[in-house]
A and B are shown apart, each in its own frame.
Chain A
Amino acid sequence: MEHRDEMEAPKSVFTTRKIVVAGVLSAIAVFLGLTGWGFVPVPTAAGNATILQIPAIIGGVVEGPLVGAVIGLIFGVSSFLHATVPFFKDPLVAILPRIFIGVFGYYAYVMVKRLFSKSKTGGLLLAIGVAGFIGSATNTILVLAMIYLRGYLSLQACASIALINGVPEAVVSIIITVAVVSAWWRLDRGRKGSRI
């Protein structure tokens, strides 16, 4: 038994909120990865676009880079453990790059938000969209860079996959990230009022 000898706990970098949001969004990433749900049927080299990077991006935008990084880490570990695609059974490909998804997504969000600090909702939506794009691009580029560096595929092959897969994935990522975060923050996206 250990005693609770540090009653005055050092202030943590995590708040309860950050811990819980990170946990719940990680659960979504793991769940989407375990099932066929983590894909949107748009044409790519793989046949559909992955959306598994999106919880990490959302976590980054909503609760900061640390939360984004942890969600990415858990997503990475899960994808490493369950991979059936050979190069994802390599932790340097499956885990390491994923940590940066939410981090880069967050910084992209902050930078764009600062640029458009005058316009209210519009600038915010743009910033969230850019985060969706950068986060997804981070995933594509870093994973394929590791695949190349670890000698699984040639540079040309990696570059073409990055283009064919990465572009539709980034588009899908922008749309979903904006939709989820604006629902979370209750932002009006575009239209005022219903279609009918």
Chain B
Amino acid sequence: MRQNNEVILTMERVSFRYSPGTPFERLALIDIALRVMRGERVAVVGQTGSGKSTLAGLCNGILKPSDGNVTVFGMDTRGDAKIQKQLRAKVGHVMQNPEDQLFEQYVGDDVAFGPLKLGLTLDEARERARSAMAAVGLDFTEKDTPIYTLSRGRKRLVAIAGILAMEPELLILDEPTSGLDPLTAKSLLDSLSAMCEEKGTTLLLITHQLSEVLQLANRVIVMDHGKISRDGDPEAIFLAAEELPFGLDVPDEVIMAKRLQAAGVRIERKDWNAEGFAATMANSLLNREVKDGKLTKLE
């Protein structure tokens, strides 16, 4: 799925402290090293307070590393105002509960706010808004709806569309589905997935839910107490872990796949669903027999 080997994000020995020099000082990230290639879809998981959101904040220069360097699209995030502006244009960051940031009266104005701030014309901004709203599953006619009439879930979609309309090359999503009903959450992830596929957007998804990782990511980073404890292919990591740590919701698919693996049956990740499990099990049973109450392979 990697489109090329261009590195777009590098972190070298990055540490981050909140409120340095005060009694509230807290070390949130310790000695992080990370490289992200263009087109990758990286999921960052870990417990609350493990440093996930801090990691995300470092990627567009909103937080500056206390130690080490963060380079995004070849720019040091500690750069001057001009660099900051370019960073903001290339890196879209959807923070937690982004619906709290909406301030315009009408949906369309809020979605078009970012593009207009990038210096686009009204017509260009309209087109951006149209495709961004489509990408999250909002009808363009909703541009004239007053925001206060929307539910929290739909406000969330508007806020995400506001970031997508800036057409970022790197999209950071910080728990985009928290508090959404399962249906809205699923359809949001589906449309985001499709959009990234189409535009080749690099994705950094912060989440608690391993099922979202399976749905969206081709690489997972597990954060633990400010450090990266694991980094790699989600399938390999989920299957290799003795027990999945980090107090996360383990999806049924993973449990199932692990049990099959324990029984000596390999199953590819694309088949981690009801049909796939059924077919794999049936298939493997065909080649086995029960001997002394145990499954054994046919000679």
Touching chains A and B, CB distance < 8 Å: yes
Q: How far is the CB of B252 from chain A (nearest CB, A)?
A: 43
Chain A stretch 162-196: residues in CB contact (< 8 A) with chain B? 183, 186, 188-189, 191-196
Contact B107 A195 (CB under 8 A): no
Cβ contact within 8 Å between B148 and A194: no
Contacts of A191 in B (CB 8 A): 105-106
User: A188, A193, A196: which contacts B125 (Cβ < 8 A)?
Assistant: A196
Subset of 13 A-B contacts with CB under 8 Å: A186-B148, A194-B106, A194-B107, A194-B109, A194-B112, A195-B109, A195-B122, A196-B108, A196-B109, A196-B111, A196-B112, A196-B125, A196-B143
Contacts of A186 in B (CB 8 A): 146, 148
Residue in B105, B125, B146 with the greatest tally of chain A CB atoms within 10 Å: B105
- How close is A43's CB to chain B, nearest CB, in angstroms? 22
- Select one of B112, B146, B148 contacting A195, CB under 8 A: B112
Q: How far is the CB of B174 from chain A (nearest CB, A)?
A: 24
Expressed in whole angstroms, the Cα–Cα distance for A23 and B109 within the complex equals 32
Most buried by B among A183, A192, A193, A196: A196
For residue A187, which residue of chain B has the nearest CB? Answer: B105
Per-residue interface assignment for chain B, residues 105 to 143, with 1 indicating a CB less than 8 Å from any chain A CB and 0 otherwise: 111110110000000001001100100000000000001
- Closest partner residue, chain A, to B123 (CB atom): A196
Residues of A within 8 A of B105 (CB): 183, 188-189, 191
Q: How far is the CB of B15 from chain A (nearest CB, A)?
A: 27
Chain A nearest CB from B132 CB (Å) reads 11
User: Which residues of B come within 8 Å of A, CB atoms?
Assistant: 104-109, 111-112, 122, 125-126, 129, 143-144, 146, 148
A196 touches B148 (CB 8 A): no
Residues of A within 8 A of B107 (CB): 194
Q: Which residue in chain A gives the minimum CB-CB distance to B129?
A: A196
Secondary structure type dominating chain A contacts: loop
Q: How far is the CB of A182 from chain B (nearest CB, A)?
A: 8
Query: CB-CB < 8 A to A189: which residues of B?
Result: 105
Rounded to whole Å, the gap between the CB of A141 and the closest CB of chain B is 31
Q: How far does the Cβ of A148 sit from chain B's closest Cβ, in whole Å?
A: 39
- Residue among A188, A192, A196 making CB contact with B126, cutoff 8 Å: A196
Shortest Cβ distance from A193 into B: residue = B144
With A and B bound together, what is the CA distance between A183 and B147 in angstroms?
Answer: 10
Name the A residues within 8 Å of B106 (CB-CB): 191, 193-194
Q: Give every chain B residue within 8 A of A188 (Cβ-Cβ).
A: 105, 146
Q: Please encode chain A, from 75 to 94, with 1 for each CB lying within 8 Å of some chain B CB and 0 for all others.
A: 00000000000000000000
The closest CB in chain A to the CB of B144 belongs to: A193
The answer to whether B122 touches A196, judged by C-beta atoms less than 8 angstroms apart, is yes
Give the most central of B104, B106, B126, B129: most A CB within 10 Å.
B106
Interface string of A51-79 (1 = CB under 8 A from B): 00000000000000000000000000000
Residues of A close to B122: CB separation below 8 A: 195-196
Q: Smallest distance from the beta carbon of B181 to chain A beta carbons, Å?
A: 24
Complex interface: chain A residues within 8 A of B144 (CB): 192-194
B125: chain A residues within 8 A (beta carbon): 196
Residue numbers in B under 8 Å from A192 (CB-CB): 144
Which residues of chain B are near A194, meaning CB under 8 Å? Answer: 104, 106-109, 112, 143-144
Give the docked Cα–Cα distance between A191 and B112 (Å): 16
B93 → chain A closest CB, angstroms:
21
Which chain A residues lie closer than 8 Å to B146 at the CB level? 186, 188
Question: Chain B contacts of A183 at CB under 8 A?
Answer: 105, 148
With a cutoff of 8 Å between Cβ atoms, the chain A residues found around residue B126 in the complex are: 196
Measured in the bound complex, the distance between the Cα atoms of B112 and A195 in whole Å is 9
Q: Hey, which chain A residues are within 8 Å of B109, CB to CB?
A: 194-196
